[in-house]
Amino acid sequence: MSLKIRRFDNNDSDIVSKIICRNFLEVNIKDYPKEEMESLVKLYNSEKILNIASYTHMYVACIDDNVVGCGAISSFWGSKDESILLAILLYLNYRGKA
């Protein structure tokens, strides 16, 4: 099993949405109210992911051609000399495997 990183393709939006939403419900829910996480799940649909990808450099992590993770980098509030990492997530069952 080898992990490969590639640029996000618009066809990845559904799976990236699922990865992000699963993390809200399986990881973040331990530290934040359930209602807030459920609200974020409704917000982070495929269309939201395409919007984020339009202004960031988004990447996906693949194992055997299956998208198992995602991440993006963007300028920090329009700064020319600062960047921010966004949505660096991996399906829980793949953590520590590749």
pTM score: 0.86
Q: CA 96, CA 98: separation in Å to the nearest integer?
A: 6
Q: CA 91, CA 68: separation in Å to the nearest integer?
A: 6
- Are 66 and 87 spatial neighbours (Cβ–Cβ below 8 Å)? no
pLDDT band, very low/low/confident/very high, at 97 (cuts 50, 70, 90) = low
Give the number of C-alpha atoms closer than 13 A to the C-alpha of residue 15, restricted to the C-beta side. 18
Count each helix (H run) and each strand (E run) in the chain, helices first: 3, 4
- Are 8 and 70 spatial neighbours (Cβ–Cβ below 8 Å)? yes
**Which domains, and CATH codes, for the chain?**
3-94 (3.40.630.30)
Q: What are the pLDDT digits (tens) for 68-95?
A: 999 999 999 888 899 998 878 776 666 6
Q: What are the pLDDT digits (tens) for 2-34?
A: 889 999 999 999 999 999 999 999 999 999 999
Q: Quote the pLDDT of residue 94.
A: 61
